[in-house]
Amino acid sequence: MIELTNVNKVYRQGNQQYHVLKDISLKVTAGEFLAIVGPSGSGKSTLINIIGFLDNHFEGHYQFNKQEIGRLNQRQFASLRNQKVGFVFQNFKLITNLNVGENIALPLLYAGKRRDEINERIEAALDKVGLTGFSSKMPKNMSGGQQQRVAIARAIVANPNFLIADEPTGALDSHNSADIMQLFTDLNRELGTTIIMVTHDDHLAQMCDRIVKITDGRISSDKGMRSC
Ligand SMILES: Nc1ncnc2c1ncn2[C@@H]1O[C@H](COP(=O)(O)OP(=O)(O)OP(=O)(O)O)[C@@H](O)[C@H]1O
């Protein structure tokens, strides 16, 4: 599904150049649950911004479902981002003055779905994350773990091809972290959701099928756990 070949990323600031990703070649197949780990500043966010269609200013090749990303115009690139990927962030990024259902509806409204379909899909997404009946609650009246579940429901509601989760348990205590990791594992195992998760936590990374380590902009190791 995802195939990066010799991807390089250079940030330019004035006369300075920062070569942040160096010859990254990475394949991710549908159904994988992959952790991206590495020290602070090693390039993890830069890499997931490219994988998640947030950044198309890089050198090298990115083929998504055999389609070369570099050939797309900005409109096609934005529509790929809206349709193919769901994002989960450390700080949930829910809209606080919207209720749970309205937050989850956002990707469907952008996609121009009809109201009755939206309502059905909200309920189905809430079921999948274990929050049946929470649609009219306000996020501020929910725990951090529940808010992250809402964010995950929003990320999956439009049936993206894959999820990017950037430190998804970083703001949670150990109990809620374990719950969220269990939810990701269930989504992956039971529904086949492809998940790419950035984490600093080695223990959480061990729960994934595969761990890709980035060191100073390069892939320094790539280990499959299921096959070990
Ligand atoms: N817009 C930018 N302009 C210049 N340099 C940048 C820019 N964004 C990131 N960098 C640099 O690129 C390098 C990689 O940053 P990146 O955020 O990808 O690392 P990271 O592994 O995600 O770090 P962390 O774990 O702390 O989030 C860092 O040295 C950072 O300072």
List, for residues 119-172, the tens digit of each pLDDT value: 999 999 999 999 999 999 999 999 999 999 999 999 999 999 999 999 999 999
Q: Is 90 in the pocket of ligand 1 (CB under 6 A)?
A: no
Q: What are phi and psi of 210, to 5 degrees?
A: -150, 140
CA distances from 199 to 12, 74, 152, 167, 220 (A): 27, 30, 16, 5, 16
Whether 71 contacts 25, CB under 8 Å: no
CA dihedral 62, 93, 20, 208 (to 10 degrees): -70
Nearest CA to ligand 1 atom 29: 41
Q: Is 199 in the pocket of ligand 1 (CB under 6 A)?
A: no
- Ligand 1 mutation pick, 40, 45, 51, 213, max ligand atoms within 8 A of CB: 45
Query: Is the pLDDT score of 228 beyond 50?
Result: no
Closest CA to 169 of 158, 183, 157, 181: 181
Q: Is 192 in the pocket of ligand 1 (CB under 6 A)?
A: no
In order of start, what are the domains of the chain with their CATH numbers?
Answer: 33-58+73-224 (3.40.50.300)
Predicted-complex ipTM score: 0.96
Looking at residues 71-78, what average pLDDT do you find?
Answer: 93
The SS3 call for residue 172 is: coil
